[in-house]
Amino acid sequence: MLNSYDLLSITVDGLPEDHLFEKDEPVHCGLTLENRFSEDLSGALKVRVLSDFGTRVYEETIELELQQEVAFNHNLSLGILDPGIYEVNLVFESPFDNKQMSFSIGIAPEDIISPLDRPAGFQNYWDRARRELAAVAPQFKLHKIDSLTTSEKETYLVEMRSLGNILVRGWYHKPTAQGMHPAVLEVQGYSSSRQANQGYQEGDMASFVLNIRGHGNSRDHINPGFPGYLQHHIEDPELYIYRGAYMDCLRALDFLFSRPEVDTTRVAVMGGSQGGALSFATAALAPDRIALCAPSVPFLSDFIDYFKVGAWPAGEFTQYVSEHPEVGWEKVYKTLSYIDIKNLAPWVKAPVFMGVGLLDPTCPPHINFAAYNQLQVPRSYVVYPEAGHGLPAEFGEERNAWIKKHFGLE
């Protein structure tokens, strides 16, 4: 139940718990308006429903006389909507007071269609990147951090060389218990800096918290800043920053696979936002190494539609094109199509568990499902209808439980 309380309140009930409806299922819910003022209110309730592309698909105006302490009930019936994500806006207007609220619903998100748009040479592009990475000696170096070492875990700073001989770093949490352990690679959100005290802390799995190039303590050689990162060499797919960033994730796997305490048959990758994209990419580009993939609110997906449904940081691309007309949108789209996780998703061989915020303006659900719906593996997702780009803590708990169950740790 959704509530907007004050002296004038609007309540919505009858929605599915996750606000999702099946394909060809009529969409309806109950609306209740209650007037707690000391006098009656005359006004109009305006209902407007927009698709995730901003198209108006439903509109209704209801003239009302709200009597004092008497609830007005209305059954809102929107009929059958096409698969997609929709925003429902409710506004009550009167000379005395106005009230508004909004919420989102999803219609059969697994049926959102966004076809692959792989460029020519897509396979070769990534085959060459992996060969170039293999030619770079990793030069792994570990520095133990005694202040963060516990009875269950030892923590190390890890340094290594990645594509282009770029120095990248991360934090490795090694279980102190004897034997071999599952491991999780944790990849980061856009512009974030991962720290030594972050990451999976329990003693039943090893974890490697990675800072990809240009982030955190991996900015020695490449540091375009934010904004600037998304634009870095976007004019050239061979030099584009995410080609190297995806290889940084594979180099992190090389590190985990070099560790004698890691059970290499049980390695997972997880992350949110940019980290969700990096999770998809890692599972796609190292399908023989990743056993589980757990992205949340994944970024870097379905770019042509993303520029229609997303705002920040999409504006960084728009700014770049306006400042570099000689490059233009055609070259930008071509570069982005190589790193688009929608185009990489069919290569994923591991089961996937995804988290989605239905109100996410940064990585809207449409682009999350554009990649998810290209998967050809066992898959599941959970939607948080009142969450935006940040998911509640319960997602992390559910994700970890999913990983543990698959790895036989429960």
d(CA 156, CA 149): 9
The residues carrying an active-site annotation are: 273, 360, 389
**Distances from the Cα of 215 to the Cα of 155, 160, 223, 335, angstroms:** 20, 15, 8, 21
End-to-end C-alpha distance for the chain, whole angstroms: 34
Supply φ then ψ for residue 156, to 5 degrees: -130, 145
Say how far residue 40 (Cα) sits from the centre of its chain.
Answer: 46
Query: Edge-to-edge strands of the sheet including 71-79?
Result: 2-4, 8-13, 27-35, 71-79
What is the rounded CA–CA span in Å between residue 29 and residue 48?
Answer: 14
The values of phi and psi at residue 305, to 5°, are: -75, -35
CA dist 176 and 162 (Å) reads 28
Query: Token match 């940084």: residue?
Result: 248
Cα-based torsion angle of the residue sequence 302, 343, 285, 194 in order, rounded to the nearest 10 degrees: 0
Q: How far apart are CA 246 and CA 334, in angstroms?
A: 17
- The alpha carbon dihedral of 380, 385, 391, 393 has a sign of negative
* Phi then psi dihedrals of residue 168, to 5 deg: -130, 160
Question: In this structure, how many other beta carbons lie within 10 angstroms of the beta carbon of residue 288?
Answer: 8
Burial 176-192 (b: 16+ CB within 10 A, else e): eeeeebbbbbbbbbbbb
Please provide residue 158's backbone torsions phi and psi, each rounded to the nearest 5 degrees: -115, 130
